[in-house]
């Protein structure tokens, strides 16, 4: 790893199966730690009635594909019939800018790790499959989507656990957040000591 590669903003990738609570976690992380900045993804899926208008940049497939062709995404994927992508962050090489948090699925996490091996991949697991299903149903996804997401989760979990730098079980939100903020602080210190 070169000195230059480390004198950048930290990229923290939060990944894990649907219904594990990633969205709640990343919102709370950036609220608790002002040195974190949450990247807003683009998607072609419909906005859920329960969802904020700025949860994503909601866009059309044509617009998404145009942006992709222009090199506008750091990574992107197709997830259960819709596109999702992370816009290329600005000022990546500016160590004084806040560290970047990405909340993305596993394929995207792997793409980021390939481009930036120093990115920190935190894989979040549900406390149980039953709890995950309850959370998925609770947010209003249609039944067939819930089943598809559960199936995908079962397939991807072992891969995510193996590839992650850190695995965290989201059993109780406050405890989970404390553990993740500790991980982030440790990674920041490591970055500094590798630079010096």
170 touches ligand 5GP by CB under 6 A: no
C-beta neighbour count of 147 within 10 angstroms: 13
User: Which of the stretches 64-72, 105-113, 122-130, 157-165 binds ligand 5GP when contact is defined by CB under 6 A?
Assistant: 105-113
Torsion angle, alpha carbons of 161, 82, 50, 20, to 10: -10
Closest to ligand 5GP by CB, 137 or 189: 137
Buried b (16+ CB within 10 A) or exposed e, 102-119: bbbbbbbbbbbbeebebb
Residue of 8, 77, 110, 132 interacting with ligand 5GP (CB under 6 A): 77
Residue of 86, 110, 132, 170 interacting with ligand 5GP (CB under 6 A): 86
Q: Are the C-beta atoms of residues 181 and 29 closer than 8 Å to each other?
A: yes
Residue of 9, 22, 67, 135 interacting with ligand 5GP (CB under 6 A): 22
Q: Are the C-beta atoms of residues 15 and 22 closer than 8 Å to each other?
A: yes
Place of tokens 């394929």: 107
Residue of 21, 67, 84, 146 interacting with ligand 5GP (CB under 6 A): 84
Q: In the range 24-43, which residues lie near ligand 5GP by CB under 6 A?
A: 41
**Minimal distance in Å, beta carbon 43 to ligand 5GP?**
6
113 touches ligand 5GP by CB under 6 A: no
Residue of 6, 45, 129, 188 interacting with ligand 5GP (CB under 6 A): 45
Distance of alpha carbon 130 from alpha carbon 118, whole angstroms: 34
- For residue 66, what are the CA distances in angstroms to 51, 62, 70, 73, 107? 25, 6, 6, 11, 21
83 touches ligand 5GP by CB under 6 A: no
Residues forming contacts to ligand 5GP in the complex (CB under 6 A) are: 18, 22, 41, 45, 75, 77, 79, 84-86, 103-105, 107-108
């Amino acid at each position: 790893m070169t000195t230059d590669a480390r004198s950048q903003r930290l990229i923290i990738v939060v990944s894990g199966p649907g219904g594990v609570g990633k969205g709640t976690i990343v919102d709370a992380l950036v609220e608790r730690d002002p040195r974190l900045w949450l990247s807003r993804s683009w998607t072609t899926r419909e906005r859920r009635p329960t969802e904020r208008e700025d949860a994503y940049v909601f866009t059309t497939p044509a617009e998404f594909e145009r942006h992709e062709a222009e090199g506008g995404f750091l990574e992107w994927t197709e997830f259960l019939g819709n596109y999702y992508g992370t816009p290329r962050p600005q000022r990546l090489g500016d160590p004084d800018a806040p560290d970047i948090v990405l909340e993305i699925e596993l394929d995207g996490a792997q793409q980021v790790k390939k481009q930036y091996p120093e990115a920190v991949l935190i894989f979040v697991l549900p406390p149980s499959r039953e709890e995950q299903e309850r959370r998925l149903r609770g947010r209003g996804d249609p039944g067939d989507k819930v089943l598809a997401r559960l199936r995908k989760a079962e397939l991807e979990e072992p891969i995510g656990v193996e590839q992650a730098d850190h695995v965290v079980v989201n059993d109780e939100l406050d405890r989970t957040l404390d553990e993740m903020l500790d991980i982030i602080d440790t990674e920041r210190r490591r970055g500094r000591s590798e630079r010096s």
